[in-house]
Amino acid sequence: MSRLKPYTAVVSARYRNLLQYRAAAFAGFVTQLFWGSIRLMILAAFYAAAEGPQPMNMVEVVAYVWLGQALLGMLPWNTDADFKEQVTSGAVAYDLLRPLDLYGYWYARTLAFRTATTTLRAVPMVVFAMLLLPAFGLAEWALPVPSVTGLIGFLAAITAAALLSTAITVLAHISMLWTLSGEGVDRILPSFVTILSGMIVPLPLFPDWMQPFLSWQPFRGLCDVPYRIYSGNIPIAEAANEIAFTLAWTLAIVWFGRFLLSRGVRRLVVQGG
């Protein structure tokens, strides 16, 4: 256990740092609430005129949208500004001196960055969508209470999603060793992540001919898998397979990240005196 200690210490220090921003979290909550409402009204209007059975029913869609809004911050859609600063200032060189595995150290830092603010934002969102909406008489728009198996499967899948999301973000961080600015990744990453994870439109609602492609790409492990396990749209019997799918992609991306990092460090030139 003691070998893990430096990494857990990094995670907890970053957590305490990031949890300071409460006003930003409140603004985020209001924004997500608005966004979720708009998306739900749009999807409900489409569903109202739907002919025949759809790949998801409206209750499953409601769960998908609210979970997406609650866990938005966990998507690998941006990079850590502190890290960017380190790369441009050259302070990243200190990281090379630490008696730690560099990839492991960056992964631990990024895991905290990805999940700390999300925890702060997800809790009020879930409380609001699950408990307060029914109290306002808006039960049909409320985040449904999951079954016990659905909840267990969801918790496992969302953990895998956090690991995958972190691996993708670390990859974006490593790419800055070449691009320095990180501007490119920050502009292009959100588009791919939001559409391919299911944030913009739940993946099962895309045309049937696209489904084979959509079901194999890694980004669906971020939203589509956990949210559908939550609502039971993916039966619990298949959940283990789906989570294994997410973890397999995570391992592949971690391996690729390690490979890139070893190349990047070899050619790294630190500027300044």
Interface ranges with other proteins (CB under 8 A): 24, 27-28, 30-31, 34-35, 37-38, 41-43, 45-51, 54, 181, 183-184, 187-188, 190-191, 194-195, 200-201, 205-207
Smallest gap from Cβ 70 to other proteins, in A, equals: 17
Q: For other proteins, give the closer residue by CB, 19 or 145.
A: 19
Smallest gap from Cβ 29 to other proteins, in A, equals: 10
Smallest gap from Cβ 215 to other proteins, in A, equals: 15
Which of 137, 143, 140, 113 is CA-nearest to residue 125?
143
Smallest gap from Cβ 187 to other proteins, in A, equals: 3
Rounded to whole angstroms, the Cα distance separating 189 from 79 reads 9
Q: For other proteins, give the closer residue by CB, 24 or 151.
A: 24
How far out from the chain centre does Cα 156 lie? 14
Q: What is the DSSP letter of 143?
A: P
Q: For other proteins, give the closer residue by CB, 43 or 71.
A: 43
Containing 139, the helix (H) or strand (E) segment is none
Q: For other proteins, give the closer residue by CB, 56 or 160.
A: 56
Which of 216, 158, 219 is CA-nearest to residue 190?
219
Q: For other proteins, give the closer residue by CB, 153 or 198.
A: 198
Amino acid at 155: L
CB 56 within 8 A of CB 205: yes
Residue 188 tokens read as 């292009």
Q: For other proteins, give the closer residue by CB, 28 or 146.
A: 28
Smallest gap from Cβ 75 to other proteins, in A, equals: 14
Rounded to whole angstroms, the Cα distance separating 240 from 211 reads 20
Which of 103, 267, 125, 265 is CA-nearest to residue 169?
103
Smallest gap from Cβ 122 to other proteins, in A, equals: 18
Rounded to whole angstroms, the Cα distance separating 203 from 55 reads 10
Q: For other proteins, give the closer residue by CB, 12 or 191.
A: 191
Smallest gap from Cβ 192 to other proteins, in A, equals: 8
Q: What is the DSSP letter of 145?
A: P
CB 129 within 8 A of CB 143: yes
